[in-house]
Homo-oligomer: A and B are copies of this chain.
Amino acid sequence: MSSFPSSSDRDKQWGVGPGRSFQQYEPSSFAEDLATRAPHNVTPGLSHHDWSDPSGKRSIDRIIQSEDYERSHGKVESLSDSQALSNDSGNEDDPEEKHRESKRPRMAISCSECRRRKIKCDRNIPCMACVRRGMPGSCRWENAKVEPSPQPFALKTQVDDLQRQLESLQETLKTLPAEVVKAVTMAQQPSNSNTSPSKQGIEHQDPREAFPRDTQISKGGVSSNGNNHTSSRLSANALNATSSATRSNAPPPKGLSAFYDDAAENAAVVLESIAFNPQTNEADAGNDSMISHEYWRGNMLTPISGAALAGSAKDDPPKLRHQLEQQNQEYTSALTSIVAPPWDITLDRFNPVLMQQGGSEPDTPQHLMRHKLDAMHSIFENLPSLSQSYYLAEQYKNIIHWRSRILQ
């Protein structure tokens, strides 16, 4: 750490380029460097010159990348994120901070993944790079800091901390009424604490067993994988299995019915608040941070755009190409099966295809209405999760907004 051999820097002559010579690694650049990499969050521009402390640079940057860092460091905070996106409002800036520093001089356009990997991004949404890599779903665009590459290690303290929390929570849970506890644990399956990777798990043997399959899968979505969280909601569902047959199993826990109702209410409230006061929720949401953000981050599905596909195919081996095509086809069809099916868009009007089978009746307006509603039902039925509904709504909103801008 001692200061770096500054003088030496200069020596490094490496062929200077024609034109201007970059001496990038000068002191200042150092700071820059940090800023850049660290990006994780920091990004926002603040100049972190401050801590330019030369020493340890490298490691430090990496380290710093945590958001908290910035937070604590000064400002940044969500602002950057939100801001970036929100753009519209634009008005109220942070009153307080005022730092003249421009936050983000240059907006990013490459997808996050490409930025992280420092590779070329074709700027499509599932960009080719991501598609080729087999994870079109991880192709996102966030106008924000770049995250550092994943690392296999973590701080032990983290582990300890988590462990502690977990225990604490579990402990607390014990104090709850029996029924509740039961429901909860049931839902959440004994989290064996074990941190250690001791195997356990699924036993082996019958391969079929290995695949948990059952259940959740079809879940309308989301939840899915191991994450439970989603799921949990032990409530409502059980209660009104309204929607048709259930997949069997899991009989609703009984004594909780009273709670369920409440849960439903809560859900409604939540939805409402999200819809109307996103920022308000911010707080809540924020705090629930219990969840790991990691969850959904990476494998979202996304249909590959035709262009991207075509492009990639160009020089890829036929095998890969075929694979991509097939993959895409799957995505697309799946997508269609749910979103599109009930509608016959070509009619340019609401026309629930599915419903039709039900017996085509005359075209009475009345009936049309009826169809409409039924179709809507179909949709809603396929929007099992709040995420979905919220997403659709949001999406729609965005589209409108976007369009108005484009068409200007």
A300 in the interface (beta carbon within 8 A): yes
Q: Give the contacting residue for A86; candidates B287, B302, B337, B404; CB below 8 A.
A: B287
- Given A220-B217, A380-B379, A386-B281, check contact A31 B12 (CB 8 Å): yes
Bound Cα distance A20, B262 (Å): 68
Contact with B along A143-167 (1 / 0, CB 8 A): 1011111111111111111111111
Q: In the complex, which of the residues B28, B167, B176, B402 contacts A9, with contact meaning CB atoms closer than 8 Å?
A: B28
Bound-complex Cα distance A158 to B257 (A)? 36
Chain B residue at minimal CB-CB distance from A238: B246
The distance in angstroms between the C-alpha atoms of A28 and B65, with both chains bound, is 22
Closest Cβ neighbor of A159 among chain B residues:
B154
Q: A68-B158, A197-B140, A199-B289 are in contact. Are A381 and B237 (CB under 8 A)?
A: yes
The reply to whether B225 and A220 contact each other, CB–CB distance below 8 Å, is yes
Q: Are A278 and B290 in contact (CB under 8 A)?
A: yes
Q: Would you list which residues of chain A between 377 and 406 have a CB under 8 Å from chain B?
A: 377-406
A132 to chain B, nearest CB (A): 8
Chain B residues whose C-beta falls within 8 Å of the C-beta of A3 in the assembled complex = 35
Contact status A285-B373, CB under 8 Å? no
With A85-B286, A286-B89 given, is the CB distance from A300 to B303 under 8 Å? no
Closest to A264 in B: B260
The docked-state distance in angstroms from the alpha carbon of A273 to that of B73 is 36
**A222 engages B212 (CB within 8 Å):** yes
Contacts of A375 in B (CB 8 A): 357, 376-377, 379-381
Tell me whether A98 is interfacial, beta carbon within 8 Å.
no
Query: For chain A residues 139-193, which have a beta carbon within 8 Å of chain B?
Result: 139-143, 145-178, 180, 183-184, 186-193
**Among candidates B80, B168, B245, B267, residue contacting A272 with C-beta atoms closer than 8 Å:** B267
Chain B residues with CB under 8 Å of A86's CB are 285-289
A23 to B13 alpha-carbon distance, docked (Å): 9
- Asked whether A265 and B274 contact (CB < 8 A) given A220-B243, A231-B236, A339-B300, the answer is no
- The answer on a CB contact under 8 Å between A212 and B394 is no
CB of B56 within 8 A of CB of A302, answer no
Assembly CA distance A252 to B30 (angstroms): 63
**B368 lies within 8 A of A151 (CB):** no
Task: Mark out the residues of chain A between 306 and 350 whose CB falls within 8 Å of any chain B CB in the assembled complex.
Answer: 306-307, 316, 319-320, 323-324, 326-327, 329-343, 345-346, 349-350
Contacts of A201 in B (CB 8 A): 66, 137, 140, 154-155, 158, 222, 226-228
Which 8 pairs of residues, A with B, have the shortest CB-CB distance?
Answer: A293-B294, A297-B297, A296-B296, A36-B58, A208-B298, A212-B220, A231-B233, A82-B289
